[in-house]
Amino acid sequence: MFHNLYKFIFLLIISGFVISCQKNDFLDDIVFDNNLLNKININAELKEVNNFHEYKISEKFIDQTMLISPSQRIDTWLEDNIFTFGSTNKLIINIEEASITQNEIVNKEKTKSLVSNKEYLYIINIIVNFILYDDSGSSLATTNVEVNRSTTSSLFISINERNHILDSLTLDALRDVSNKSIELLKIHMSEYVL
């Protein structure tokens, strides 16, 4: 009887050891290089960037947990890639929203599988407002850039994997903001954009 118990315990330990020796996946670092994003030249003497995004301390808002938040990434892009030239006009850029939310959802495609059918849905929402004023303070042109992106992950991932997903989502949204900004500025501020 004890002989069979020892065999069972031995097999249990060996199988646990084999399962724990699975291959580790190493995630590549996400590189935020503003030189790869669009550069915009606007006919204005001054540029002012205002970050009005307020962190929401709530369970579903997780952008404050990131090492560098989306609003900081946008702020850096605006400082590095929006250039002004000329001797008149003032460009005001307002970062209105730059948040990431995490919500638990049910994946309807996995309802009949043995694995949990719940996932996390990550949504990034970015709103940037561009306003060009003349020297007397009258508004010459304005445009709002709004970008929404989302992705999912399983419930049980490491912190490293979660950070990788959030950085990847932020980079994709930043590319979208860059492309959408150039598109909308060329439409609404065509007289002032090179």
Average pLDDT along the chain: 88
**pLDDT tier, 96 (very low <50, low <70, confident <90, very high otherwise):** very high
Of 22-31, 55-64, 185-194, the poorest mean pLDDT is in 22-31
| Residue indicated by tokens 């929401």 | 56
- The structure's pTM equals 0.81
**pLDDT tier, 24 (very low <50, low <70, confident <90, very high otherwise):** low
The distance from CA 155 to its chain's CA centroid, rounded to whole angstroms, is 19
> How far apart are alpha carbons 76 and 54 in whole angstroms?
17
**pLDDT tier, 181 (very low <50, low <70, confident <90, very high otherwise):** very high
**pLDDT tier, 19 (very low <50, low <70, confident <90, very high otherwise):** low
Residue ranges of domains in the chain, CATH in brackets: 41-107+116-188 (3.30.160)
Bridge partners of 87, per DSSP, are none
C-beta separation of 164 from 27 below 8 A: yes
The yes-or-no verdict on residue 111 having pLDDT over 70 is: no
C-beta separation of 177 from 145 below 8 A: yes
1-16 confidence digits (pLDDT tens): 667 777 778 777 877 6
Neighbours of 146 (CB within 10 A): 15
Q: What pLDDT, on a 0 to 100 scale, did the predictor assign at position 13? A: 82
Q: What pLDDT, on a 0 to 100 scale, did the predictor assign at position 47? A: 96
